[in-house]
Chains A and B, each alone.
Chain A
Amino acid sequence: MSSVILRTVKHRLTDLVQKPGGVTFEAAVAGSEAELAAKAAPALEMLAGKVTDLEQLVEKGGLDAAGVEQAYSLASEIVNVSGSLNMKPLFATAYSLCEILDHFRTGGFSREAYDVHVRALRLIVSGRNPPNLERMIKGLDAVKARVLGGKLAE
């Protein structure tokens, strides 16, 4: 049997955060939110470009294995940026797209499921948030469940 070593570690960070001065928890959060607010508009513009890339990927037909990887990478980027900016509808839609693309790596590709997700992303990044946004995301969840259950594949 291999040996296990338990080591007690003292981090410098532990001492630093407790030093007098600094900011209150509330001020730290407010400062950070203010920094992020300034980044939201340019980030949204960049994300719109990623959605265009996702649309262009399937212009010539379905996605092969390399295409799925490329699409996953784009969707993952949307998840990461929208997630850091707490853009929840965009995050939820891109996350759902990541889930189905991850499934496409081993299961069958579904153009319908892909397209409906990308169209939803387009709708959200264009700022034309539909009044029934919540219902739309629930619908995407249902599509995702069908894909993951193997009920929607070409």
Chain B
Amino acid sequence: MARDLSKFRINLEKASVLLIDENSSGLDLLHSIVSGFGVGERIRASSAQEAMDILKARSVDLILVEAQMAGMDGFDFIHWLRRSGLKPNAYTPVILVTGHTPRNKVEKARDCGANYMVTKPLTPLVLIERIIFVSRDSRPFVECDSFIGPDRRFKNMGPPPGTNGRRKTDVQEDLGEATAPNMSQSEIDALLKPTKVRP
């Protein structure tokens, strides 16, 4: 079960978010969604190229990019960003938003280096949960020949709120109440007490 976030506060007043979508209606909708979240600065880019120019000139705190674009698509854009050497932008959290992903791009989506991929239908609830997730994302950045981006394994931090994770061993965020009484201090001491080992 996902943790109850209803009373959680989020402050995006000072955040600058770059929104990239070559479709003007899509960009407009993305802009509306983040406006409602109280994002202080919303920067629109109607192509990956325009976004690249912006990122060369200034830093941003979060990037939301549409995957399907006719020119450079969202996957290639993130691939470029992670290898751009731009500091701090190369490490900026990126949420990739995708509608339909063609079969030949599934691998590209996995390997592009996004912090998170959100599939449509997109709701404000889902998007804000993912923004909170990436803001707390403590995964290290992996840099090797074939991949640059946040570690693709979520194992240690558990899956994002509202998702169940893909593995049986995934740690769920809501651990629930303890089912057995806590150990007493003497039991803990006994566990830690050094004992001599006789040969």
- How many angstroms from the CA of A146 to the CA of B134 in the assembled complex? 39
Known: A11-B91, A35-B32, A84-B122. A16 touches B11 (CB 8 A): yes
Known: A17-B12, A84-B120. A4 touches B144 (CB 8 A): yes
B102 CB to closest chain A CB, in angstroms? Answer: 5
Say if the beta carbon of B196 comes within 8 Å of chain A. no
Say if the beta carbon of B143 comes within 8 Å of chain A. yes
**Chain B residue at minimal CB-CB distance from A84:** B29
Say if the beta carbon of B85 comes within 8 Å of chain A. no
- B26 CB contacts on chain A under 8 angstroms: 77, 80-81, 84
Q: Are A24 and B7 in contact (CB under 8 A)?
A: yes
**Chain A residue at minimal CB-CB distance from B137:** A11
A106 CB to closest chain B CB, in angstroms? Answer: 9
Q: Are B121 and A17 in contact (CB under 8 A)?
A: no
- B21 CB contacts on chain A under 8 angstroms: 80
Q: Are A79 and B99 in contact (CB under 8 A)?
A: yes
Q: Are A35 and B33 in contact (CB under 8 A)?
A: yes
Of the listed stretches A26-34, A52-60, A116-124, A125-133, chain B binds A26-34
The 8 A CB mask of B130-160 against A (1 = contact, 0 = none) is 0110111100111111100011000000000
Q: Are B144 and A80 in contact (CB under 8 A)?
A: no
How many chain B residues touch A (CB < 8 A): the figure is 61
Of the listed stretches B43-51, B62-70, B174-182, B183-191, chain A binds B62-70
- B120 CB contacts on chain A under 8 angstroms: 79-80, 83-84, 91
- B36 CB contacts on chain A under 8 angstroms: 28-36
- A7 CB contacts on chain B under 8 angstroms: 91, 140-143
Say if the beta carbon of B28 comes within 8 Å of chain A. yes
- B143 CB contacts on chain A under 8 angstroms: 4-7
**Set A2, A5, A22: member contacting B38, Cβ < 8 A:** A22
**Set B33, B70, B91: member contacting A84, Cβ < 8 A:** B33
Say if the beta carbon of A147 comes within 8 Å of chain B. no
**Set A14, A16, A77, A91: member contacting B12, Cβ < 8 A:** A16
Known: A22-B9, A36-B36. A80 touches B23 (CB 8 A): yes
A86 CB to closest chain B CB, in angstroms? Answer: 5
Q: Are B14 and A25 in contact (CB under 8 A)?
A: no
Known: A20-B11, A80-B23. A13 touches B134 (CB 8 A): yes
Known: A3-B144, A16-B12, A82-B121. A23 touches B38 (CB 8 A): yes
Query: Which 7 pairs across A and B sit closest by C-beta, in order of nearness?
Result: A83-B120, A32-B36, A22-B11, A32-B124, A31-B36, A79-B99, A98-B100
Given contacts A12-B61, A16-B11, A26-B7, 12 further A-B contacts (CB under 8 A): A5-B142, A16-B14, A22-B11, A22-B13, A22-B38, A24-B10, A28-B36, A80-B21, A83-B120, A83-B122, A88-B121, A99-B100
Residues of B at the A interface (CB closer than 8 Å) are 5-15, 21, 23, 25-26, 28-30, 32-38, 61-62, 66, 68, 70, 88, 91-93, 99-100, 102-103, 120-125, 127-128, 131-132, 134-137, 140-146, 150-151
